[in-house]
Amino acid sequence: MSTPHNAAQMGDIAKTVLMPGDPLRAKYIADNYLTDVVCYNTVRNMLGYTGYYKGKRISVQGSGMGIPSIGIYSHELYNMYGVESIIRIGSAGAIADDAHIRDIIIGMGACTNSNYAIQYRLPGTYAPIASYDLLEKAVNAARAIGANYKVGNVFSSDTFYDDAASLGDWRKMGVLAVEMESAALYMNAARAGKKALCLLTISDCPFTGEETTAEERQNSFTQMMEIALEIAE
């Protein structure tokens, strides 16, 4: 059973999927951390791999950029391929004063300016949150390796180039970082009765101008990758 976006057949994908936005980060993880790797998807170059990490069968697949893209891929993984947990491993821009380049953000909740939740016809405003058991495991794993991490709210923006320059307003509300996917992943997981967690590495600081290169984002955010691999079920 393939979909318009995924060539995998049922059984090709593990119960836990690590999901970076960049498909080349998926390839990096498959090449450097997994054994007995099989590539199950190349459609639209959204690379997907299944292999083993310390005896655990794990898949890793790109999600693309933005809520519509991760909304498609995570929906299919949860509802058409029997995936139980998705751990997003992405990059984010620092909003909080005490968030710095290469810090790890564990997204407890995800604010958003997206209208993604309208499809559920809810009589109010939905608050997308992580699965607590995955969050707790991630905190313990981050502590175990001595990572600089923070747990809290992130902002999933529909716009990368924000004409309203609104990050300062989210900063006032204690939001730690801005990215573009987590809210949709959390909503899809909730609707499917599945698990989700977002681990983010700070790649740039919009208020200070600090930033990493595309190659560094692709290949060097290894602490986040290792935390996700350790907590995969």
Model confidence at 219: pLDDT above 90:
no
Q: Which of 52-61, 110-119, 158-167, 172-181 has the lowest mean pLDDT?
A: 158-167
pTM given for the model: 0.96
Separation CA 164–CA 132 (nearest Å): 33
Tell me the average pLDDT of the chain.
96
Domain 16-231: assigned CATH number: 3.40.50.1580
Where in the chain are the domains?
16-231
User: Which helix (H) or strand (E) segment is 49 a member of?
Assistant: strand 48-53
Helix (H, G, I), strand (E, B) or coil at 27: helix
Mean pLDDT within 219-225: 85
Among candidate residues 12, 22, 103, 204, the one labeled active-site is: 204
Q: Which pLDDT tens digit goes with each residue over 184-193?
A: 999 999 999 9
Separation CA 223–CA 197 (nearest Å): 16
Annotated active-site residue 204? The verdict is yes
Q: Which pLDDT tens digit goes with each residue over 6-52?
A: 999 999 999 999 999 999 999 999 999 999 999 999 999 999 999 99
Q: Contact 80/67 with Cβ under 8 angstroms? A: no
